[in-house]
Amino acid sequence: MKVVLISDVKNIGKKGDEKEVKPGFARNYLLPRGLAVLADSAEATKILSEAKKKNEEKIKNVEKAQINLSKITEKEFTFKRKASKSGKLYGGISKKEILEVIEQKTGVKIEEIFGDFPIKNLGEYQLQIDSPGGENLELKIVVEADAG
């Protein structure tokens, strides 16, 4: 029996999925609990169209995020800090600080970056960003000595 799920059902599927289930499972569990509707009903058509719209919107958001992230990876972010003669910073640069600077300079909010934090030495660093598309992008950070 074909049903369309109204809400997420463990081990069956997510809201908006059209599934083939055994008739007894549909009649005795899914339908009485309001977890699904029959696939040939008007409500099922409505749910499927809403799920399709959400999926298309999600794809657009992922594409937009990819474009924004690719703009970020083309840039180089420079931090100036007081450091010793050996190149050791007096105060490290935290992950939170890097995320804030990127958001201020580009307007793009990044959830997570990966690398060794805090950064404690002068030099160039390649940090990893997880993109919504699933690929890893590199972000270049340069730490320079502050002349003042």
Rounded CA-CA distance 23/38 in Å is: 11
56-90 pLDDT tens trace: 888 887 777 777 777 777 788 899 999 988 989 98
Count the domains in the chain: 2
The answer for residues whose C-beta is within 8 angstroms of residue 92's C-beta and 6 or more apart is: 117, 118, 119, 120
> Quick one: pLDDT at residue 133?
60
For residues 137 and 101, membership in a common domain is answered with: yes
Same domain, 34 and 80: no
70 inside domain: no
User: Which one, of 54, 69, 71, 73, lies nearest residue 134 by Cα?
Assistant: 69
Tell me which of 129 and 123 has the higher pLDDT. 123
Per-residue confidence band for 132, with pLDDT thresholds at 50, 70 and 90:
low
Domain-embedded: residue 134: yes
Torsion over CA: 100, 102, 106, 109 (sign)? negative
Structural domain of 140: 75-145
Residues 55 and 83 in one domain: no
Q: Which residue has the tokens 């030099």?
A: 123
Looking at the domain assignment, is residue 68 inside a domain? Answer: no
Q: What is the pLDDT of residues 20-56, one digit of tens each?
A: 999 999 999 999 999 999 988 888 888 888 888 988 8
Q: Assess whether 17 and 79 both reside in one domain.
A: no
Q: What's residue 134's pLDDT?
A: 63
Report the pLDDT value the prediction gives residue 54, as an integer from 0 to 100: 87
Q: How far apart are CA 91 and CA 68, in angstroms?
A: 30
Judge whether 113 lies within some domain: yes
pTM over 0.85: no
Q: Is 93 part of any domain?
A: yes
Q: 28-60: buried (b, 16+ CB within 10 Å) or exposed (e) per residue?
A: eebbeeebbbebeeeebeebeeebeeeeeeeee
